[in-house]
Every structure is written in structure tokens, then in C-alpha cells.
């Protein structure tokens, strides 16, 4: 990226968000990008190259994850931002919010075992590379998940469309990259861990790339997602 300055990332903070600081650390301190927090009441996204909707429990998520956050003032701007073709990544609660806001198809149901689940998973990215996965170099990625509602569901026709259009960005896999039900941590249909919108500029994923940016913490594979975004901007 010679000659190109750092990209500007905006991290949206809802009341109850908690991955905001982790995303900030990864992007600002490890990847040396220009990063700002965006409080949920703000409505000006001009100047950002990518908006991050981080994990957490927005508004406590007592009703249903993301069901209140999707009505926050900032969200109508995030929708416009995406319509303009700019990049939006929703992680964990961010994925749930994107689904609630209708920016991605499907829903995240409670895990099939009805327990919160924090563990490492392996992820396979298939099909033609998206702007979020171009740097993966055919690698199986290792990242953590941490959620109660990560069980991806979409009606059969939508699911078929997602698959036909290669919009499943990540699937839970074995370390070797095989897609098996034994390694599905939450009951997601087709082992789906992340999906893209039609235009492929919006990604929602349950695993946390920001928690996998240093070997010290167990994996640096998350950087490949961020670097793909930086490359695409």
C-alpha cells in the first residue's frame, strides 16, 4: 500500500457495546490505522472508509439481540453508508444488529445447546474472495467466538440464494478446513459463521477477528480480515 495513508475506521458504540475497545486496539495499535469511536447518537459518517459494528450487548439485548440498536440514530446513516458502497463489518452483536436492520438476510437464534459459548473455532472462507477475505491466502483461520445467540438461520429460499451467490463468507470448519457438523459450535445452518450482502460490501460474522490479532493471544489470523479491508479501501 505504498503511498497510501492509513484508512479511517469508525467504531460504533452503543450503550452496552464492549468490543469497541478491542477493535480500537487492533486497528489503531496493531494495524496503525486512523480509528475513531462513533457514539450511537452521531449521524455524520463522512470521512470514514469503513464502519465497524462491534460486539457486546447493545441496550442489554433483553428483548432480542440488536432489536433496539437497529433503531439508533446512527443506524440510518450506516445504511446510507452501505448503500454508497462503502464497507461495513458487523462482528458478533454487530452481525445481529445488521440482520435486525435488514442489511443482511437471516437471523441469529440462541445457540442450539442454549448456553453461552466462548471458545476458539476454525473458519473456512470459500468461493470467490470478497473484499473482506482477499488476504486469507486459502488459509483456514483461527478465531474465538463468544455469544449466546450465534445460531444462523435463514429460510430455505434465502439460504439457497446465499449459497448460489457465494455470499457465505465464513463457515465453521475443522483445522484442516473440512465442513463437519461436529465442529459447528452453535447449530448454524450450513455451518455459517459469516455472510455478505448482495453488493458484497457489508459483512456480518459471529467470530471476533479483533481478538485474534496477536500470536500472544493465540492467533494473528484476524489481521487477515482487517488487512483485506485495508487493501480494498
Catalytic (active-site) positions: 92, 208, 210
How many residues of this chain interact with another protein, rule: CB under 8 A? 31
**Whole-angstrom Cα Rg for the chain:** 16
Identify the DSSP state of 27: I
233: its cell numbers: 479501501
Segment interacting with another protein (CB under 8 A) among 12-20, 43-51, 99-107, 150-158:
12-20
The answer to whether 117 contacts another protein (rule: CB under 8 A) is: yes
**Candidate residues 32, 44, 60, 127; the one interacting with another protein per rule CB under 8 A:** 60
Contact predicate 202/88, CB 8 Å = yes
SS3 103: coil
Which backbone phi and psi does 155 adopt, to 5 degrees? -60, 155
Cβ at position 139, least distance to another protein in Å: 21
112, 187 Cβ separation under 8 angstroms: yes
Q: Which is nearer to another protein, 23 or 232 (CB)?
A: 23
Q: What is the DSSP-derived secondary structure letter of residue 214?
A: B
Q: Which one of residues 43, 146, 197, 227 is an interface residue with another protein (CB under 8 A)?
A: 146
Chain residues binding another protein by CB under 8 A are: 15-16, 18-19, 21-22, 25-26, 29, 55-57, 59-62, 115-119, 144, 146, 148, 208, 210-211, 213-214, 216-217
Amino acid at each position: 500500500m505504498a503511498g497510501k495513508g492509513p484508512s479511517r475506521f469508525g467504531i460504533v458504540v452503543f450503550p452496552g457495546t464492549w468490543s469497541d475497545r478491542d477493535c480500537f486496539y487492533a486497528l489503531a495499535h496493531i494495524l496503525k490505522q486512523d480509528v475513531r469511536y462513533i457514539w450511537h447518537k452521531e449521524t455524520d459518517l463522512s470521512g470514514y472508509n469503513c464502519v465497524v459494528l462491534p460486539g457486546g450487548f447493545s441496550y442489554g439485548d433483553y428483548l432480542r439481540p440488536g432489536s433496539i440498536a437497529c433503531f439508533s440514530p446512527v443506524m440510518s446513516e450506516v445504511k446510507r453508508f452501505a448503500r454508497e458502497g462503502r464497507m461495513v463489518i458487523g462482528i458478533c452483536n454487530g452481525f445481529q444488529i445488521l440482520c435486525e436492520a435488514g442489511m443482511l438476510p437471516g437471523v441469529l437464534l440462541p445457540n442450539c445447546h442454549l448456553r453461552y459459548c466462548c471458545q476458539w473455532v476454525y473458519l473456512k472462507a470459500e468461493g470467490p474472495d470478497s473484499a473482506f477475505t482477499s488476504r486469507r491466502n486459502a488459509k483456514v483461520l483461527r478465531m474465538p467466538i463468544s455469544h449466546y445467540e450465534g445460531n444462523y438461520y435463514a429460510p430455505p429460499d434465502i439460504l439457497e440464494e446465499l449459497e448460489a451467490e457465494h455470499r457465505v463468507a465464513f463457515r465453521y470448519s475443522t483445522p484442516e478446513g473440512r465442513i463437519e457438523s461436529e465442529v459447528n459450535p452453535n447449530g448454524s445452518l450450513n455451518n455459517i459463521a459469516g455472510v455478505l450482502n448482495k453488493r458484497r460490501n457489508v459483512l456480518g460474522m459471529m467470530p471476533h477477528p479483533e481478538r485474534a490479532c496477536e500470536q500472544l493471544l493465540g492467533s494473528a489470523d484476524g489481521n487477515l480480515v482487517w488487512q483485506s479491508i485495508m487493501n480494498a479501501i
